[in-house]
Amino acid sequence: MKKTKYIFFTGGVVSSLGKGIACASLGVLLKSRGYRVTILKLDPYINVDPGTMSPYQHGEVYVTDDGSETDLDLGHYERFINENMASFNNATSGQVYYDVIQKERRGDYLGATVQVIPHITDAINEKIESAGKKTDADIVIVEIGGTVGDIESQPFLEAIRQFRLNNKPEDTLVIHLTLVPYVAGANELKTKPTQHSVMRLREIGLQPDMLLCRTDRLLDESVKKKIGLFCNVSPKAVIDALDVKTIYEVPIKYAEEGFDVHVLQKLKLPKGRLQFDSWKRKVNRYLKVKHEVTIAICGKYVALHDAYKSITEAFIHAGMENDVRVNLQWINSETIKPRNVQEQLSKVSGVLIPGGFGERGIEGKLNAVRYAREKKIPFFGICLGLQCAAIEFTRNVLKKENANSTEFDAHTKYPVIDLMETQKTIRDLGGTMRLGSYPCKLKPDTKAHEAYQTDQIDERHRHRYEVNNAFRRDFEENGLIISGLLPDNSLVEMLELRDHPWFVGCQFHPELKSRMAKAHPLFREFVAAALRYNKQS
Ligand code: GLN
């Protein structure tokens, strides 16, 4: 039987060092050397999943095919390693405690006192092993959220200590991601924060095997030697993680540093042959592109781009396939009024309205839709964006005044967007939307069909409300085409304007399926339309 190997990634010094991207980058390199790789994110917070958390707190909620609401790092994993993630790729403290408490209530512990050690730590280790088994992975990369020293992450780190004890030394690896800051006054790179953070790790019985050091300049040999000496690792195991222009350069830099080869040596695995040229070519070409195009994103959380992480990345992939740099202009939809919409949107070549919840900023979004529809600017509406397109069309083309979604106006005379029957009796908030992958059949001779080049697709959803079927006929008769439907025809999945260069809305979230290896067809075509608009205007 094959022995699965485990790589644990911990973080130190400060948060936001890009642990998710580090895991995803190592993941894609190991996959490119022929290994089956999966990645598991362990989040120390108590929420059972991030589905109920505000985007301000936690950024985007990333939805997988199986309908789990997960951490946004899973998006990076999918985009880099080009594998579908599932519920077992993300676990939170809340989830672990929830499982353990349910077992305790059932009496499964047979009268034992239920404790953090061993019950919680055992439950954590079961999650780690199960991620490997379910995917038949050769290598499981485990990212521990948070920073060493946080009270919340302690059970995870303790679980890893036990995990290592129960496995052979060459079957597990701990990689610690730290920051080596440059202090201008001293003209020196400072290693002390790294020393301290490794000290915290060793206090709880975890000796890192490798250190990945985020830095804005290369670490010279003397710095690596010093870090190695104080942190008890070989200087060769101290790897630079230099700042780069795009996150897609990270694996290229790692490969140049020999990071992946070093990891495989430590795991006593053959290094295989790295097949990574097409990735490198794509990135290098993208770094040299000359054309630019600007797209407005009119949303509610624009101050916090992490809330739209997958959209930002999908535009990079789409830019790569169109040989153009896509500049995103973030516009707070609350500020878009009829009197300033022209000023706000006259310089952009495309308008995107992303998903969202709640009434705030809706009228501004409708102003943006109207402007894009009337001025024939390429428009892309995602989820709430599609719903806004339907509301705007009903109000201004079908002339049904104050048409709305019942999410924003429960008593509107024209409920063009309404709650699905199945949602009406649900009280809980967590995990209760229409979530995950559903099929959608595409109408021939539409922009949707042209983009996908196929009759049926599968896309991921996260919403409660739907286009009200009572309006479908009016839409079609007046030029708003229903280009995508659930195969049994019961739900509208895509809408598009007939007499417009590119005006497409989808009830699902295409951004979640855009990959570095292949841009999402709708983003690719939206950017292409924006480029055409840009050239002609
Ligand atoms: N608020 C809308 C709904 O629940 C749209 C959701 C979204 O954009 N993800 O249907």
pLDDT in tens, 287-344: 999 999 999 999 987 767 788 999 999 999 999 999 999 999 999 999 999 999 999 9
- What fold, for 5-282? Rossmann fold (3.40.50)
- 17-56: string of b/e by CB count within 10 Å (b at 16+)? bbbbbbbbbbbbbbbbbebbbbbbbbbbbebbbbbebebe
Residue 118, preceding peptide bond in cis (omega within 30° of 0): yes
- What fold, for 289-536? Rossmann fold (3.40.50)
In tens, the pLDDT along 493-528 reads: 999 999 999 999 999 999 999 999 999 999 999 999
In whole angstroms, give the CA distance from residue 251 to residue 82: 14
In whole angstroms, give the CA distance from residue 495 to residue 102: 44
Write down the catalytic residue from 213, 231, 383, 506: 383
**What residue's CA is closest to ligand 1, atom 1?**
357
What was the pLDDT predicted at 288? 94
Check pocket membership of 434 for ligand 1, CB cut-off 6 A: no
Per DSSP, what are the bridge partners of residue 90?
A: 41
What was the pLDDT predicted at 427? 65
Q: How far is CA 480 from the centre of its chain?
A: 31
Clarify whether 509 is annotated catalytic: yes
User: Rounded to the nearest 5°, which phi and psi values hold at 267?
Assistant: -85, 0
In whole angstroms, give the CA distance from residue 254 to residue 417: 48
What was the pLDDT predicted at 430? 64
In whole angstroms, give the CA distance from residue 169 to residue 216: 33
Task: Tell me the helix, strand and coil percentages in the chain, rounded to 5.
Answer: 45, 20, 35
Name, in order, each residue with C-beta under 8 angstroms of 365's C-beta and a sequence gap of 6 or more. 298, 333, 336, 353, 384, 385, 388
Check pocket membership of 356 for ligand 1, CB cut-off 6 A: yes
**Antiparallel, parallel or unpaired: β 456-463 and 434-442:** antiparallel
Positions of the chain with pLDDT under 70: 1, 303, 423, 426-431
Opening angle at CA 336, ends 335 and 341, nearest 5: 140
Q: Which atom of ligand 1 is nearest to the CA of 466?
A: 10
Token pair 């009496």 is found at 107
444 exposure class (CB count in 10 Å sphere: 0-12, 13-18, 19+)? exposed
Which letter does DSSP use for residue 188 in this model? E
The Å distance, Cα 466 to ligand 1 centre, comes to 9
Check pocket membership of 417 for ligand 1, CB cut-off 6 A: no
Mutate to test the pocket of ligand 1, among 465, 507, 509, 511 (most ligand atoms within 8 A of CB): 465
Name, in order, each residue with C-beta under 8 angstroms of 1's C-beta and a sequence gap of 6 or more. none
What was the pLDDT predicted at 388? 97
In whole angstroms, give the CA distance from residue 61 to residue 322: 28
**What residue's CA is closest to ligand 1, atom 5?**
384
Q: Which atom of ligand 1 is nearest to the CA of 382?
A: 8
Check pocket membership of 319 for ligand 1, CB cut-off 6 A: no
- 150-164: string of b/e by CB count within 10 Å (b at 16+)? beebbbbbbbbbbbb
For the chain, how many residues are written? 537
Per DSSP, what are the bridge partners of residue 440?
A: 457
Domains 5-282 and 289-536 share a fold: yes
In whole angstroms, give the CA distance from residue 535 to residue 96: 54
Clarify whether 383 is annotated catalytic: yes
Give the residue from 200, 143, 199 showing the smallest Cα distance to 175: 143
Check pocket membership of 61 for ligand 1, CB cut-off 6 A: no
The Å distance, Cα 428 to ligand 1 centre, comes to 16
In this structure, which long-range contacts are made by residues 475-478, counting pairs with CB atoms below 8 Å and at least 24 apart in sequence? 475/390, 475/393, 475/398, 478/393, 478/397, 478/398
**Domain boundaries of the chain, sorted by first residue:** 5-282, 289-536
Report field, pTM of the whole predicted structure over 0.85 = yes
What was the pLDDT predicted at 426? 67
Check pocket membership of 308 for ligand 1, CB cut-off 6 A: no
452 and 441 Cβ atoms separated by less than 8 Å: no
Per DSSP, what are the bridge partners of residue 438?
A: 459
The Å distance, Cα 419 to ligand 1 centre, comes to 10
